[in-house]
Chains A and B, each alone.
Chain A
Amino acid sequence: MKRLLLGAALFTACTTTAMAQSIGVSVAYFDDNFLTSMRNAMQAEAEAQGWNVQFLDAQGDIGRQLSHTESLAAQGVDAIIINPVDTAATGMMTRVAVERGVPLVYVNREPEGNDLDHDTVAFVGSEQKVAGELQMEALAEMLGGEGRISIMLGELSSSATHQRTEGVEEVAAKYPGIEIIEKQPADYQRTEAIDLMNNWIVGGQQIDAIAANNDEMALGALIAMRQSGIGADEILVGGIDATRDALDSLQRGELSVTVFQDPVGQGGGAVKVAIDLANGEAVESINLVPFQLVTRDNLDDFLTN
């Protein structure tokens, strides 16, 4: 009897998994804090809609991501979501999905090619350059349009690094009184940023503000400053992502500004678009989720989230 019940239970378990439709997701990096929040948002949205979702880690490798696409298509998922490692190298993945007839949604980073021309391919995300623009505009305003800026770069192989930095540089160029004096990488990591900031501090150059490509590096810069007795009002520090730690730091009056990138809007949005595509509905090919500037003034809106 017990065995029979167990068999019945197993049978229903099998049928339900077979019945539920599934999405396969290939994420560029599992270790990235923002992408992790986005991944959790995807999971939540898929569960809410009664879909199964399977996550794969491309570990920053474009080749690995292509094989993810191939194996997901072969395994017969109903839709694929890709958070591309390299926005310039999505062509092959798009071709695999289109040939196999599997709907494909790119999330967070927009492909640079003509991938989105296909009806079954869509993009959900934000323009990374805008984040850099918002960050630099806020810093420039706080500095009164004059000052010496150092940029902390993320991983040089990441397209977000380039686009965010481009945004910062374009805005800085608009202000004649603002000069970018340093541009060095700290790989999006807090520890690396502490070391970089320490080196900048002993360099003896006057720095008025740090524009960091993400919050983790901004927090690292602040730790180095605190240990050297430099106040957060002497060197302004700006981040991007509005992570929990960054909002706490903003609240303590350390971080000057950050930019909120919406993980729920992007992750949840990507799952919705993927499900619509799988159901054969027509969708917008580009779905932009806006960035939002976070300062001490509007901090409360984000802390409650």
Chain B
Amino acid sequence: MATTTENTQHLEVPKKRKKKVPTEVSIFLVLIGIALLFEILGWAIRGDSFLMNPRRLLIMILQVSIIGIIAIGVTQVIITGGIDLSSGSVLALTAIVTASFAQQSDYLRAVYPALTDLPWFIPLIVGLLVGALAGLVNGALIAFAVIPPFIATLGMMVSARGMARAYTDGQPVSMLSDQFTWIGSGANPVIIFLAVAVFFHIALKYTRYGKYTYAIGANPQAARVSGINVRRHLVMVYTIAGLLAGLAGVVASARAGTGQAGMGLMYELDAIAAAVIGGTSLAGGVGRIAGTVIGAMILGVMLSGFTFLGVDAYYQDIVKGAIIVAAVVIDQYRQRKRNKTT
């Protein structure tokens, strides 16, 4: 009985998609609304414009680029009906391992004194491999050991943080080479974030990889029956999510010029928030990368807006939480209204 209701729920999802409700458009309006709210409050409180400042517009995206890169992977995981709680910890593990391969030779306390001043792509590749490996373990546990994604990635969240601490006994890894820190300097994180977003937006929308991802999330049984190798595909999706968490770790360590075990705390929740605000359904089968990018930008606008208005630190998180929920409520309300009229 329970399974039949679940199946009908899943079957409704592709129907909704056929009606072509552009979630991105409605969530983009929410973004504009929040930005305008800060604009009005800015004039009222600070007597200054919030939006008419090109550098601030860049910073709004810059400060969510790292979370955004993670969110692109998390979105794909959520579309398959899963969840990834490990991304913040995987970021920390990658950042610290990557940093240990990117140190300057004139630094006396290098982790690997023989491996300093390496060209920038070596730490980058190391970081991507560490991230992908963590994702591969997640995927294998979920697809082959049939452990619920919540539990498997929770385990990875705790272990990866532990490995990050054990790697250098909790000591930070600093003094990174200039060619490596260049990756995270200026607007480069934004470029990386948007390039990754465009790549996966296309992959999800136009390739067989994308079709399988949506199909598994909408109805895993139907996907299996129609000949999709569900297990292999799930491993691939989680590996990509790990790879992107690894990329985020590389960018984070390059940006801060250090790798530390305490980096990326709670980033997984911000990434999930970005995906959900952007219209990705936790039930699976629904979601777009473009929506996630806008969701991440909403988080960035809030962060800049609070600082701009000088909102008391104690109230920022209360408001942030409320806005996250409100954004989703408004979006769902608009969708329901549109579904009724059509």
Partner-B contacts on A (CB < 8 A): 29-33, 36, 39-40, 153, 156, 182-185, 187, 189-191, 194-196, 198-204, 216, 219-220, 223, 227, 243-245, 248
Whether, in the assembled complex, B4 has its beta carbon less than 8 Å from a beta carbon of chain A, the answer is no
A31 in contact with B303 given A36-B170, A203-B308 (CB within 8 Å): no
For chain B, residues 245 to 294, give those with C-beta under 8 angstroms from any C-beta of chain A.
252, 255-258, 260-263, 265
Q: How far is the CB of B87 from chain A (nearest CB, A)?
A: 15
Encode contact with A along B145-168: 1 for CB under 8 Å, 0 otherwise.
000000000000000000001000
Q: What are 11 A-B contacts defined by CB distance under 8 Å? A: A31-B265, A36-B170, A40-B169, A191-B263, A195-B63, A198-B59, A199-B59, A199-B303, A203-B307, A219-B257, A245-B175
Q: How far is the CB of A302 from chain B (nearest CB, A)?
A: 15
Report the interface size class on chain B. 35 or more
Q: How far is the CB of B47 from chain A (nearest CB, A)?
A: 12
Contact of A198 among B63, B256, B265 (CB under 8 A): B63
Contact of A244 among B174, B186, B308 (CB under 8 A): B174
Partner-A contacts on B (CB < 8 A): 48, 53, 55-56, 59, 62-63, 66, 109, 165, 169-172, 174-175, 185-186, 252, 255-258, 260-263, 265, 303-304, 307-308, 310, 313-314, 316
Contact of B169 among A36, A182, A203 (CB under 8 A): A36
List 3 tightest A-B contacts by C-beta distance, closest first: A31-B262, A36-B170, A195-B63
A168 and B170 alpha carbons, distance in the complex (Å): 29
Which residues of A are found within 8 Å of B310, using beta-carbon distances? Answer: 182, 184
A183 in contact with B258 given A30-B165, A31-B170 (CB within 8 Å): no
16 more contacts with CB within 8 A, not counting A39-B170, A195-B303, are A31-B260, A33-B170, A33-B172, A36-B169, A156-B314, A182-B310, A185-B313, A190-B257, A190-B260, A191-B255, A199-B63, A202-B56, A202-B59, A203-B307, A219-B258, A248-B175
A194 in contact with B48 given A36-B171, A199-B308 (CB within 8 Å): no
Q: Is the CB of B314 within 8 A of A245?
A: no
Q: How far is the CB of B7 from chain A (nearest CB, A)?
A: 41
A32 in contact with B313 given A191-B252, A195-B59, A227-B186 (CB within 8 Å): no
A1 and B109 alpha carbons, distance in the complex (Å): 46
Which residues of B are found within 8 Å of A187, using beta-carbon distances? Answer: 265
Which residues of A are found within 8 Å of B252, using beta-carbon distances? Answer: 191
Q: Is the CB of A245 within 8 A of B172?
A: yes
Q: Is the CB of A245 within 8 A of B258?
A: yes
A8 and B303 alpha carbons, distance in the complex (Å): 63
Which residues of A are found within 8 Å of B55, using beta-carbon distances? Answer: 201-202
A153 and B81 alpha carbons, distance in the complex (Å): 39
Which residues of A are found within 8 Å of B170, using beta-carbon distances? Answer: 30-31, 33, 36, 39
Which residues of A are found within 8 Å of B258, using beta-carbon distances? Answer: 190, 219, 245
